[in-house]
Chain A
Amino acid sequence: QLQLQESGPGLVKPSETLSLTCTVSGGSINSSTYYWGWIRQPPGKGLECIGSIHYRGSTSYNPSLRSRVTMSVDTSKNQFSLKLNSVSAADTAVYYCARVTGTTGFFDCWGQGTLVTVSS
């Protein structure tokens, strides 16, 4: 049974870099079929797709965040990661990692989510 788990600091200072890792278990990240994505939900608001990455390294970022986002994959650890730089309070959100059924796809398996607060 595929499982995803986010990890990383729960508190990040303004202007610094938010870094999260998603560990995939119960399946391999080395799938040509799937992408691996990040989605966030600010408090009291809806869901926003940040972007996704294929295990071979191709990425698709939301244009609204593209200038600040970097995603990467570590196939040896079955993990993928998100870095969001120059954060502000507007980046405070629950961050989810998920498996995506393609560059344009739906999210068929999600992590539990992790709250990241941007505050000094």
Chain B
Amino acid sequence: DIVMTQSPDSLAVSLGERATINCKSSQSVLYRSSNKNYLAWYQLKPGQPPNLLIYWASTRESGVPDRFSASGSGTDFTLTISSLQAEDVAVYYCQQYYSTPLTFGGGTKVEIK
């Protein structure tokens, strides 16, 4: 199984400031033939279903605010919230879909400082 490791476990950021979440995979999730990274990011808020934010490591899902961006390749990935809003308080997960079983990171809780 590909193990996904996120850091930090939690972070507190002031409103309007930048939040950065890291995700590392135990093996590369880059398919060289397509040059695509099989990595997605989700947002989970209490009482709500998970919300897909990013796929192919950096493609924003339709309707996701552009303050959310993501980057990385191979085994190291980053999700950035450029200017944290109150509604961004949530737990964020990365997920690899390079191989089965599909696996998630442990989650990063984002709070307001």
Measuring CB to CB, which residues of chain A are less than 8 angstroms from any residue of chain B? Answer: 37, 39, 46-49, 51, 60, 62-64, 96, 98, 100-113
CB within 8 Å of A: which B74-113 residues:
93, 95, 97-107
How many chain B residues touch A (CB < 8 A): the figure is 24
With A46-B106, A49-B102 as known contacts, state yes or no: A108 contacts B50, CB within 8 Å: no
Q: Contacts A96-B50, A106-B55, A107-B52 hold; do A46 and B101 have CB atoms under 8 A apart?
A: no
CB-based nearest A residue for B49: A110
13 residue pairs of the A-B complex, CB under 8 angstroms, read A39-B50, A46-B93, A46-B106, A49-B102, A62-B100, A63-B101, A96-B49, A98-B50, A101-B55, A101-B97, A107-B50, A110-B50, A112-B49
Residues in B lying within 8 Å of A, measured CB to CB: 1, 38, 40, 42, 48-52, 55, 61, 93, 95, 97-107
Alpha-carbon gap, A47 to B94, bound state (A)? 10
Q: Are A108 and B52 in contact (CB under 8 A)?
A: yes
Tell me whether A103 and B100 are in contact (CB under 8 A): yes
With most chain A CB atoms within 10 A of its CB, the pick from B97, B99, B102 is B102
Structural contact, B105 and A62, CB atoms closer than 8 A: no
> What's the least CB distance linking B53 to chain A, in Å?
10
- Please determine whether A106 and B100 come into contact, CB atoms closer than 8 angstroms: no
| Apart from the given pairs A62-B101, A104-B100, 17 other A-B contacts in the complex at a CB distance below 8 Å | A47-B95, A47-B104, A48-B104, A49-B103, A60-B100, A96-B50, A98-B50, A101-B55, A101-B97, A104-B38, A104-B99, A105-B102, A106-B95, A107-B52, A107-B95, A111-B49, A113-B49
Which of B51, B52, B97, B101 has the most A CB atoms < 10 Å from its CB?
Answer: B101
Given A62-B101, A105-B97, A47 contacting B55 (CB threshold 8 A): no
Q: A49 near B104 (CB under 8 angstroms)?
A: yes
**Closest A residue to B107 using CB positions:** A46
| Residue contact A64 to B101, C-beta cutoff 8 Å | yes
- Chain A, Cβ-Cβ closest to B98: A104
Chain B residue nearest to A97 (CB atoms) is: B49
Query: Complex Cα distance A46/B23, Å?
Result: 14
Contacts of A112 in B (CB 8 A): 48-49
Say yes or no: B40 contacts A106, CB within 8 Å. yes
